[in-house]
Structure 1
Amino acid sequence: MLSNFREQLRTQRWDDHRYYHHSRINQSLHFVSAASFLIAYALLFVDPVAAALIGWLVSMTTRQAGHFFFEPKGYDHINEATHDHKEEIKIGYNLNRKIVLMTIWALSPLVLFLDPTLFGIFAPWSSPADFMRQVAKVWLAIGIGGLLFRTVHLFFIRDVETGLVWMTKILTDPFSDLKLYYKSPLYLLKGELIDPGLEKHVKRA
């Protein structure tokens, strides 16, 4: 059972890399995201508010900017797949689901501004610092909620193991991304915009 879990984890990571990380800019942004996520992980135990601010304002924005703005959206000749096909088989958050999640994140400060108690959950904020602390708490809840929602959703549309594997992948992505993409900024500085090694690896796989 453990070996199957590891194999599924390896497969999900490999599919994510080969389908959605062709761009060296995207890879470099994932390196920045991974490093800042690890800082957020460490802060989570001592200052959850700071962890949430770093996690969303730095880690998530750099990570998703790479996917939205720099990753090729045309036909994937390396994997012989259309963009629509990749979006359809994406286990986790595809671009449409990410748009929903990022919209909820972006609009949440406005909701808190219009209703300082957030439907009676908080005591009304009384200063900009209080407002940011409460925003950070909301963002932390959105992050945890987004992770758990898709995990449980996968329990029903796939199976429990697939959901748990995906959750494990997401939580450990900063570690694997740091190892996988630490050279990408150097390749980018050399003018390499697309990872040339993907085609070789896909054919070998």
Structure 2
Amino acid sequence: MTFFEELQKQRWDDHRYYHHNRINQCLHLLSACCFLVSYGLVFFHPAAAALVGWLLAMVLRQTGHFFFEPKTYDQVNDASHDYKESVKVGYNLNRKVVLLSIWAATPLVLYLNPDLSGLLTPATDLEGFISNTALVWLFIGMGAVLFRTLHLFKLMGLQSGLVWMTKIITDPLHDIKIYQKAPHYILKGEMYDNMEDWYDDLPLDNQV
């Protein structure tokens, strides 16, 4: 596959396997908007960008995955939850638990080790503590993307790793494009996506 064909395939697999629930899609839509705000802030106020990215965008996004997305057998794709977790290119639920645990432990680590072994200027007030926490969160987020990209280089090859990194960075724009109608479907009483709209638009080589 070319780079863009593989990008399309990774996006399709991510959508069809992990975004059946319309509430999950709505939360991804809100998360995407928050991530775009975070992207804009990172150039002017990195700490604020991290706070928006983690406390709003990531919490909304992962709430959809952990609490609303069904874990039962996937009749649409004829796949079990365990199978989907095993073939997940990026962070599956188990990997997300590890990442989110590191994120949640950051304030406690900084409370016990304010200068992070010489990497930070110790905070002298609450505002400084929040700022230092946010900066560590920013590097955790960037590090998580870089770590998985490098890991995919080894597992799947250079192109697949770069494709996944591109997908992750551009997910906010793509999520807004494909999930903008999710609130409308919920108001109609449709709680699950049958994937037909995407499936009909895919090249035959990518259909299953």
TM over 0.5: yes
Structure 1, unmatched stretches of 5+, are none
Do structure 1's residue 114 and structure 2's residue 112 form an aligned pair?
yes
Name the structure 1 match of 2:91.
93
8 Å contact from structure 1 (residues 27, 184) kept in 2: yes
Structure 2, unmatched stretches of 5+, are none
Deviation string, structure 1 residues 139-189 (Cα, Å, up to 9, x no partner): 000000000000000011110110000000000000000010011012112
Tell me, what secondary structure is at the counterpart of 2:139? helix
Tell me, what secondary structure is at the counterpart of 2:94? helix
Distance 1:119 1:199 in 2: 53
1:52 pairs, out of 47, 50, 53, with: 50
Name the structure 2 match of 1:34.
32
Displacement of 1:96: 0.4
8 Å contact from structure 1 (residues 78, 199) kept in 2: no
Aligned pairs, number: 202
Tell me, what secondary structure is at the counterpart of 2:2? helix
Deviation string, structure 1 residues 2-24 (Cα, Å, up to 9, x no partner): x7000000000000000000000
Distance 1:96 1:199 in 2: 29
Call closer, same or farther: CA 1:41–1:83 in 2, change over 3 Å.
same
Distance 1:201 1:108 in 2: 39
TM-score by length of 2: 0.94
8 Å contact from structure 1 (residues 22, 194) kept in 2: yes
Displacement of 1:199: 4.7
TM-score by length of 1: 0.95
Please report the RMSD computed on the Cα atoms of aligned residues, expressed in angstroms.
Answer: 1.3
Name the structure 2 match of 1:177.
175
Distance 2:175 2:197 in 1: 20
Distance 2:198 2:132 in 1: 45
Q: Which amino acid aligns with 1:194?
A: Y
Q: Which amino acid aligns with 1:169?
A: K
Q: Which amino acid aligns with 2:191?
A: L
Deviation string, structure 1 residues 111-154 (Cα, Å, up to 9, x no partner): 00111111221121110000000000000000000000000000
Tell me, what secondary structure is at the counterpart of 1:54? helix
Aligned residues: percent identity? 56
